[in-house]
Amino acid sequence: MNTPVYLDNNATTPMDPRVLEEMLPYFLNKFGNAASRTHAFGWEAEEAVEIARENIADLIGANPKEIVFTSGATEANNLAIKGVFENNFLERNHIITVETEHKAVLDTCRHIEKLGGNITYLPVDSNGLINLSDLENAITDQTVLIAVMYANNETGAIQPIPEISVIAKKYGILFFTDATQAVGKIPVDVHADGIDLMSFSAHKLYGPKGIGALFVRKNNPAINLTAQIDGGGHERNMRSGTLNVPGIVGLGKACELCLEELNSEEKKLTELRNYFETELLKLNGVIINSKAIPRLPHCTNISFSDIDGDKMILEAGSQIAFSRSSACTSATMEPSHVLKAMGFSDENIHNSFRFSFGRFTTREEVDYAIQVIDKIVKEHRSERNYGHHQIV
Ligand code: PMP
């Protein structure tokens, strides 16, 4: 077993070696530009792109023509939100989103506010879920888009996607979901779920970094997006630029593998995650966040009472790679906006951590992580008790 043990698969996944193998020829002898129509190098690249498009579409129940390649989910989120806004703002300029979205959605919405758009940020309950009546009450005749993420990157909480889409349809509003953490991990079907636009990213599903996609529904309703990158008219005029053929081939293979392994992986990861939680709960003073609601199978967000979160990171960091529910912004630690929206105190956020498992996580690694955390938590608590003792 190699240490540190990697339990941060929500940040990024290691590439599956089968994905790398599929990509390699497209860096070397199959280097053609997929837009070159006049020779075999271009045809070969274009064919590989179209096969990838089919594999990607199959994973999410889409038509290959509904897949628009981007550099990742951040760009896909920008394209979906700014693309809809710019195409509609003269008639409708209101967007509804949620306080717990990823920064790639929130910062895009802040940008739109500066352009004169109107944004509603829905609150969430203590599990991180929106209330559907809040959503319906927020709708006005100006509302053009509802943007609610599929599953949260910090807690794994899954929003009620089919119910949201029913509301969107009732009012003739487009529904966009950032499904970066959900695609490849749980079954996602854009038609069954009634999704109009959906972003996702290869590096969260054992593919390479720097490639992702936006699903754009083709019919009922036909969606027009204003391109955010102009030049050349690639990707049905929605995203210009020479296609990243090796990346696309990698995303395609990663999606093919996810489809094959989804059921068995979901089961394996749920078991590992539940085992991890059960063992840590024995420590007492441990709370599993969003446990009461549907959540992703492979991750957990845990709050520990009576510990020093900073020290925990320092002590455990060389043995386990995991994540703090706080983001480092320059010199200061900013408490997670997700847990804050769920009503957590700053101190509690400080002592909350995300552990996310993946395809290559073993039981041995999980056992090791449990031992490390168990030891640290017990040490912190006994130091604190000892301290109290001295004061008395
Ligand atoms: N949305 C969510 C929910 C994410 O977790 C991430 C990655 N942290 C992104 C968007 C951004 O994805 P990318 O790295 O592909 O730009």
What tens digit of pLDDT does each residue of 12-49 get? 999 999 999 999 999 999 999 999 999 999 999 999 99
Per-residue pLDDT, 390? 47
- Residues 249, 123, single domain; the answer is yes
Catalytic option among 109, 255, 258, 328: 328
Q: Which amino acid is at 225?
A: L
- Residues 286, 338, single domain; the answer is yes
- Residues 58, 129, single domain; the answer is yes
- Residues 205, 243, single domain; the answer is yes
For atom 12 of ligand 1, the residue with the nearest CA is 73
Q: Taking 60 as the threshold, does the pLDDT of residue 142 lie above it?
A: yes
Q: Taking 90 as the threshold, does the pLDDT of residue 387 lie above it?
A: no
Per-residue pLDDT, 184? 98
Which residues, 6+ apart, have CB-to-CB distance to 333 below 8 Å?
A: 324, 326, 327, 350
Eight-class DSSP state of 204: G
- Residues 245, 289, single domain; the answer is no
- Residues 318, 174, single domain; the answer is no
Active-site residue flag, 328: yes
Which residue of 185, 204, 244 sits with most ligand 1 atoms within 8 Å of its CB, as the best mutation to test the pocket? Answer: 204
Q: Taking 90 as the threshold, does the pLDDT of residue 333 lie above it?
A: no
Per-residue pLDDT, 385? 77
Please give the model's pTM, rounded to 2 decimal places: 0.96
Per-residue pLDDT, 392? 44
**72-116 pLDDT tens trace:** 999 999 999 999 999 999 999 999 999 999 999 999 999 999 999
Per-residue pLDDT, 324? 86
Q: Rounded to the nearest whole angstrom, what is the distance from the C-alpha of residue 41 to the centroid of ligand 1?
A: 33
* Last residue of one domain, picked from the residues 238, 256, 274: 256
**Mean pLDDT across the stretch 267-275?**
98
Per-residue pLDDT, 189? 98
Residue closest to 119 by CA, chosen among 89, 90, 74: 89
**Residues whose beta carbon lies within 6 Å of some atom of ligand 1:** 72-74, 102, 104, 149, 153, 178, 180-181, 201, 212
Owning domain of residue 335: 5-12+262-391
Q: Which of 5-9, 75-79, 219-223, 287-291 is predicted with the least confidence, judged by mean pLDDT? A: 219-223
**Mean pLDDT across the stretch 322-336?**
69
Query: 28 vs 23, 61, 124, 127, 369, CA distance in Å?
Result: 9, 32, 49, 48, 40
Q: Taking 60 as the threshold, does the pLDDT of residue 391 lie above it?
A: no
Q: Rounded to the nearest whole angstrom, what is the distance from the C-alpha of residue 214 to the centroid of ligand 1?
A: 12
- Residues 271, 235, single domain; the answer is no
* Last residue of one domain, picked from the residues 204, 235, 256: 256
- Residues 234, 248, single domain; the answer is yes
Q: What are phi and psi of 180, to 5 degrees?
A: -55, -40
**Mean pLDDT across the stretch 183-201?**
98
**CATH number of 158's domain:** 3.40.640.10
- Structural tokens at position 221: 């309703």
Please report the atom of ligand 1 found closest to the CA of residue 72. 15
- Residues 298, 217, single domain; the answer is no
Angle between helices 309-316 and 363-391 (to 10 degrees): 140
Q: Taking 50 as the threshold, does the pLDDT of residue 329 lie above it?
A: no
Q: What are phi and psi of 283, to 5 degrees?
A: -70, -15
Please report the atom of ligand 1 found closest to the CA of residue 104. 10
Residue closest to 12 by CA, chosen among 254, 188, 216: 254
Rounded to the nearest integer, the mean pLDDT of the chain is 95
**Mean pLDDT across the stretch 264-283?**
98
Is 291 in a helix, a strand, or coil?
coil
Q: Rounded to the nearest whole angstrom, what is the distance from the C-alpha of residue 11 to the centroid of ligand 1?
A: 8
**Mean pLDDT across the stretch 348-354?**
95
Which residues, 6+ apart, have CB-to-CB distance to 9 below 8 Å?
A: 204, 298, 299, 356, 357, 358, 361
Q: Rounded to the nearest whole angstrom, what is the distance from the C-alpha of residue 201 to the centroid of ligand 1?
A: 7
